[in-house]
Amino acid sequence: MTRTLLITGASSGIGAATAEAAARAGWQVALMARSADRLEALAARIGPSALALPGDVTQEAEIRRAVAATVERFGALDAAFANAGRGANAPGVETGDPGDWRGMIDLNILGLLLTAHATLPELRKTRGTLVLTGSSAGRNHMKGSVYGATKWFVHGLAGNLAEEMRDWGGRCGVVAPGMVDTPFFDKGAPGKLDPADVAAAVMQMIEAPERASIREVYLMPQNRSE
């Protein structure tokens, strides 16, 4: 039976790598991101099993439209990967930009909540799986990191959602990578994970046998200590 995965933040990096890995594994993929051009190009590369859904996860109506379009096209939703997120432009609290924090919190926290709120009714029907993108920054204290604090929220929410979804046979987990070779990080930093490494972890979580709930996968570059 063909299964369907909805990915937010799908146009590049971890989201795009997961879309390609899922498609290779036989999944239908619904792809949501704000970058319409890159999203359309990714869907074209994957082929008929991909649906491009340009939109902003911080807007409730847009994520709801994306979920509805996914179910209309593919018939059901078996898994969702709430991957959209971003960092802060300046480190630290004293030196940070409150306006920038607002945009980051809207995406990393509110966008995540809206994605879960919109996908859970459909995941309930399939006893599906929700995966959230956390971070090593959500497991370790980092000097003055407001971004890291948003990821601590993600890790806490993942555990709370796992208990909520468990009541009806659903699963929730968080994938927590260290530095990944994406535009999110400085290209000069050596020894990063590849987006495909994170994609493989997501696939393990959504394809695990029903008896197993993988609540966290923590990935670190082997030759780095962050």
Q: Give the residue numbers marked as catalytic.
A: 147
Closest among 219, 140, 132 to 180, alpha carbons compared: 219
Closest among 43, 131, 147, 166 to 86, alpha carbons compared: 147
User: Cα(225)–Cα(203) distance, rounded to whole angstroms?
Assistant: 25
Helices marked H in the chain — which ranges?
13-24, 36-46, 60-74, 98-105, 112-126, 146-166, 195-207
Quote the DSSP letter at residue 194: P
User: Cα(20)–Cα(49) distance, rounded to whole angstroms?
Assistant: 11
Query: Could you tell me the sign of the dihedral formed by the alpha carbons of 167, 57, 88, 18, in that order?
Result: positive
- Position of tokens 């530095």? 179
